[in-house]
Amino acid sequence: MKMQLTEIANAIGIEDVPEHWAAITIANVEFDSRKVRPNSLFIPLQGQRDGHDFADTAIKNGAVATLWAKDHTNVPTDYPALVVDDPLEALQNLAVYYLGKINPKVVAITGSNGKTTTKDMTASLLETEYNVVKTEANFNNDIGVPVTLLNMNANTEVVIVEMGMDRPGQLDFLSKMVQPDTAVITMIGEAHIEFFGTREKIADAKMEITDGLKDDGLFIYNGDEPLLRERSKQVDQEQYTFGDSAADNLFSSNVQLAKNHTDFEINLVPNKTYRIPMIGKYNVMNALAAIAVAKAYHVDPAKIGDALSNFQITHNRTEWVQGNAGEAILSDVYNSNPTAAKEVLDSFSHTDTEGQRMVVLGDMLELGEQSDEMHVSLSDYLDPKLISQVYLVGNHMKALAQALEAKYKKEQIHWYTVEQEDQVIKDLQARLTKQDEILIKGSHGIHLEKVLAGLKDS
């Protein structure tokens, strides 16, 4: 991003600006005063604390101007302050303006599971042919999406926007903001079912990603999901499906699982094996979604294999790391829901190991009245012959602990409250050896990253 402050002011509806603002160039936007870089425009947002209280700090850290809500008094006079009705709305309007100015192709990706991995895979494939910008970290909401757009350089040809949701209407807003050329839905699961009630309503909300899809756009989705197949009939734009079935446009076969990678073939390129540096058949589905996008953007097929096998995985998404005792840790602590947990448990249960397999599972949040039942459903994916020790953290995991008593010995099941992470670490340190493997997975709100850090750093 590189714009004069006067252009930014005009873009968000401020016409009467001082002449000297034309000499001020903005290189980036930032809403966290601690992360401000030189020549930033500071965006004071209202959260648990009021961002306006940190404007002076942002300026000291390198910002050269700030937005300012008109209902806040004491407008700064020592540095440029652009007075607006709502700083968040102004940020979003600026992003729409800048998107129109740069005019890249827009790929929008959502799904109950896999959207971040699919985003990373898609970026790796498209980067072989285009200048690409993608959503960083978890910037996938009404704040993160406009920040992603404003992080584009002038030469950006494709921007890949991850979109999350926790309420109806959210994807409708984001999709209409970015006007995607390509919309992708990875799958429908139970994430956020507390707010939606049923998978059908989750599917309805996910389909909102097509609300802003350009008339000549492309809708790519998992064709093995009946809820998406049914709802796709309401989409007029071109469609392309991926999955396990020969009824899909793109489907996988001969999937071979290994500890550190997964191999597979696809129907479009016979007798060629593709490899992803991740565990699990479910990640093959994410790769198929990325390949479908690459095909739509005419990426050289010869480049797809290398790009997939070398793509960079976002931190803590089914990532193997080494623990202090030499054990192999499969870190998947960013988030969790029943579908994702079952998939990774199934894959982890069949890895090659000379020692024992153990799991640490944290509560899966936002499951509502069905929470205990959905936690208990993980019992079918925990086999004492394959996973010898089960460590469970959180109130809802207590229901799973009780269900496991029917198949596990008492000394193999360990339950903790969320305040007992230190005890979890101590108990694991007393048991783990360098031959062992351990999976750590839970919703971000349970903070199992503390357990991960304890095993790595002790």
Could you list the residues known to form a binding site, using ranges.
111-117
Task: With beta carbons less than 8 A apart as the criterion, state whether 329 and 440 touch.
Answer: yes
Q: Would you list which residues are annotated within the binding site for ATP? A: 111-117
Task: With beta carbons less than 8 A apart as the criterion, state whether 421 and 452 touch.
Answer: no
3-state secondary structure the chain: CCEEHHHHHHHCCCCCCCHHHHHCEECEEECCHHHCCCCEEECCCECCCEHHHHHHHHHHCCEEEEEEECCCCCCCCCCCEEEECCHHHHHHHHHHHHHHHHCCEEEEEECCCCHHHHHHHHHHHHCCCCCEEECCCCCCCCCHHHHHHHCCCCCCCEEEEECCCCCCCHHHHHHHHHCCCEEEECCCCCCCHHHHCCHHHHHHHHHHHHCCCCCCCEEEEECCCHHHHHHHHHCCCEEEEEECCCCCCEEEEEEEECCCCEEEEECCEEEEEEEECCCCHHHHHHHHHHHHHHHHCCCCHHHHHHHHHCCCCCCCCCEEEECCCCCEEEEECCCCCHHHHHHHHHHHCCCCCCCCEEEEEECCCCCHHHHHHHHHHHHHHCCCCCCCEEEEECCCHHHHHHHHCCCCCHHHEEEECHHHHHHHHHHHHCCCCCCCEEEEECCHHHCCHHHHHHHHHC
Place of tokens 């540095």: 79
Tell which residue, 141, 112, 164, has the closest CA to residue 364. 112
Angstrom distance (rounded) from CA 5 to CA 456: 46
* Residue 20 CB neighbours (<10 A): 10
